[in-house]
């Protein structure tokens, strides 16, 4: 899965990873849109703890 994610971030391919309660969509310029059934504040706090920039935003790739 690491190689596929790396290829998506390098714009060599495109895909959406989805499950019942979670999704990851890859955009341009290293953007990743991540959705979860977890509370938004909890997810943002965890991502920030790991040095990731995040903001609440709807994925433009949601069907």
The span from the CA of 10 to the CA of 45, in Å, is 27
pLDDT above 80: residue 3:
yes
Q: Quick check: 4 and 15 in contact, CB under 8 A? A: yes
Nearest to 61 by CA among 19, 9, 7, 14: 14
The span from the CA of 18 to the CA of 24, in Å, is 6
Confidence of residue 50 (pLDDT cuts 50, 70, 90): very high
The span from the CA of 61 to the CA of 16, in Å, is 8
pTM of the model as a whole:
0.74
Q: Domains of the chain: which residue ranges? A: 2-49
What are the tokens at 63? 């069907």
């Amino acid at each position: 899965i690491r190689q596929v994610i790396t290829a998506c971030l390098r714009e060599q391919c495109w895909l959406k990873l989805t499950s019942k309660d979670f999704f990851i969509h890859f955009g341009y310029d290293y953007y990743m849109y991540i959705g979860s059934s977890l509370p938004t504040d909890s997810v943002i706090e965890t991502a920030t703890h790991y040095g990731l920039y995040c903001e609440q935003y709807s994925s433009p790739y949601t069907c």
